[in-house]
Amino acid sequence: MDLNIIWFFLVGILIIGYAILDGFDLGVGSVYLFAKFQERDIARNSIAPVWDGNEVWLVTGGGALFAAFPMVYATVFSGFYLALILLLFALIFRAVSLELRNHFQKESTKTLFDWIFSISSILAIVLFGVAVGNVLSGLDLNKSGDYIGTFFDLLNPYSILVGVLAFFMLSYQGTVWLFLKTEGEFQQKVKNWAKVYWSGYFILFLLCTILAYMFHKNLFNNYLANPFMFLIPLLGLVFMVASLIRIQRNNPLCAFIASSLSIATIILSAYLSLFPNLIIAKNNPAYSLTIYNASSTQLTLETMLIIAIIGMPLVLIYTIYSYKIFHGKTKSEEGY
């Protein structure tokens, strides 16, 4: 296996790690306003010790993409410039609202920060999803690999649908996390939310898959050439169903593990459908950015691989340690 392929999978692992970890705290934010005012303390405190650590995976993933495939990084960050600015503001407002809420005594001020936290979480999820939808459906690129479309071209029906799928996927992940971290009446309420979001997650995944086959058949080329790969999205469905069953049987830890595995396999399915492309040029396939024509030099890939071999385990150890320290049920008086 050459270095370009290794880096293709390393970037994919970081994307999956971010989707699972920051996915649940973004998901908590998206369902946050359905909780009573007193219950919001529990929801917020359940993610307070770990949310900023989860975002390390986003920074690491962006850094890995820049180091290994700089042309892809340049195309995405220039083509999605306005969308990424909106995403940046959403993440900033989300962090500020989470940090500042309890520095004020008035309930009305706290409620304002609650709305900012929830709306910015939803906006971030949808923007991430729309970006993924555009990567899957392809972008208008010139021969230099530059995006030549407009911002409104990014708001095409399929990409918006993927954005809605992301909303239900991560909202479900957030409710499963809350189901794991809460107890009593609030936990039963969260259990009912989870069933609703699971339905949207399941239906939209099937719908996006069917529409991809109808309008973006190139995404199935790798699967048709290697039929065993169909096991990956099938596993995603199995984990999805298993998660709901575990919720119904009041087994929150297994439900969260199954939900996380469903996200991992579904994202992996979409990611592998691109290989060896990273950005598909829908106007002219010859302009597509692949793991070869958009990569750094072999020396850079070798050097960065050594750094990754040292750095990624440290991130993983830090993540595991932080979750071990803050395991167990969350109380309203704990945390921020």
Give the model confidence (pLDDT) of 168-197 as tens digits. Answer: 999 999 999 999 999 999 999 999 999 999
Residue 258: count of CB within 10 angstroms of its CB: 22
Name the band, by pLDDT with cuts 50, 70 and 90, for residue 34.
Answer: very high
Contacts of 76 (CB under 8 A, 6+ apart): 65, 131, 135, 279
- pLDDT tens for each residue of 236-286: 999 999 999 999 999 999 999 999 999 999 999 999 999 999 999 998 999
Task: Calculate helix-pair angle for 56-68, 3-31, nearest 10 degrees.
Answer: 150
248: nearest Cα among 184, 206, 198: 198
Taking 60 as the threshold, does the pLDDT of residue 311 lie above it?
yes
pTM, entire model: 0.95
Percentage of the chain exceeding pLDDT 70:
98
pLDDT, position 1? 65
Taking 70 as the threshold, does the pLDDT of residue 291 lie above it?
yes
pLDDT, position 332? 65
Domain assignments of the chain as residue spans, ordered by start: 3-325
Average pLDDT over residues 221-239: 97
Per DSSP, 1 falls in state: -
pLDDT, position 252? 95
Q: How far, in Å, are 28, 39, 52, 109, 122 from residue 33 at the CA level?
A: 9, 10, 21, 14, 11
Name the band, by pLDDT with cuts 50, 70 and 90, for residue 52.
Answer: confident
Taking 90 as the threshold, does the pLDDT of residue 122 lie above it?
yes
Q: Judge contact between 44 and 114, C-beta under 8 A.
A: no
Alpha-carbon span 170 to 24, nearest angstrom: 6
pLDDT, position 328? 86
pLDDT, position 333? 62
pLDDT, position 30? 95
Alpha-carbon span 191 to 176, nearest angstrom: 8
Average pLDDT over residues 57-85: 91
Per DSSP, 154 falls in state: G
Average pLDDT over residues 279-298: 94
pLDDT, position 113? 95
256: nearest Cα among 162, 322, 142, 173: 173
Residue-level length of the chain: 336
3-state secondary structure of 30: helix
pLDDT, position 3? 95
pLDDT, position 103? 85
3-state secondary structure of 270: helix
Name the band, by pLDDT with cuts 50, 70 and 90, for residue 316.
Answer: confident
Please tell me the class of the 3-325 domain. Answer: mainly alpha
Task: Calculate helix-pair angle for 157-181, 184-215, nearest 10 degrees.
Answer: 160
